[in-house]
Structures are given as structure tokens and as C-alpha cells.
Amino acid sequence: MAPADRKTAGYIWGTGRRKTATARVRIRPGQGQFVINGRPLKEYFPTEVCRKAAISPLTFVKMENTFDVFVNVRGGGTTGQAEAIRLGVARALVEYDQNLEKGLREEGYLTRDPRKVERKKYGRPGARKRFQYSKR
């Protein structure tokens, strides 16, 4: 779907990724409803830290109750998913209003965290750890 099509469908889209989590975020003007995989925000994320991370771009631009946010997220754990949602929401806000980009970028909301789990190497129990050395 092209960006022009996304706005005519009534939603503004943004995609966020973190580690192995991918969040597809849709926002539209509304009363502040936040739904993740068909469940409310408070039900989906049990911890306050993850909830705050997910809505932080909206809080930063003072639009918490201006948009309804609908998210489909897969992969990763709760923290990775929350931060993927954060990036997706920030990207959708920039798509909605280009003037928000400068502030969101300065706060780090539009920066993708590139860190991933390093692969396990052969001859070792993990990525970097070595087997215990025995002199005798």
C-alpha cells in the first residue's frame, strides 16, 4: 500500500522493529484508545515500564488522547515488543505531521536500535563464552 493509500483508508501507518519483534502500527484521530493484538494496553503489558515505553512518543508530543492506536506485534519479548511499538508510533506520527520529526528525532524516538542477539559459534557453548579450561 502506497503512503497516499494509507491516508485515504483512514489510518496512518508506521512500522517498528527491535531485536526480533516487529510492530505494525496504525493510528487515526480518536479518543486515545490503545489496542495491541486485539487487547487493551494495560491487559497486554503487565508492567508499567513497557506501557510507558509504548506510549512515550504520544506523551512527548502531548497527543495521548488525540489518536486511537491499533498495533499488531509479533516476535521477541515484552521489552522488545514495547520498543518496537514505540518506534512504529513515532514513525506514524511523523507520517501524520512532518513538523514533529525534529523533536522526535532529537529525543531518540526515530532511531532504530540495531542490536541483535549474536549467533552461537561452533566449538563454544555460546556466542563468546568458551568451555572451561582444564590444565590437568
Q: Residue 3's pLDDT is what? A: 53
Residue-level pLDDT at 136: 85
User: Which pLDDT belongs to residue 10?
Assistant: 84
**In a 3-state reduction of DSSP, which class is residue 111?**
coil
Q: What is the pTM of this model?
A: 0.86
Q: CA-CA distance, 36 to 70, in Å (whole number)?
A: 6
SS3 content of the chain, % helix, strand, coil (to 5): 40, 20, 40
Domain 3-107, what fold?
Ribosomal Protein S5; domain 2 (3.30.230)
Nearest to 17 by CA among 66, 60, 81: 81
pLDDT by residue, tens only, the chain of 136 residues: 455 554 556 899 999 999 999 999 999 999 989 999 999 999 999 999 999 999 999 999 999 899 999 999 999 999 999 999 999 999 999 999 999 999 999 999 999 999 999 999 999 999 999 999 999 8
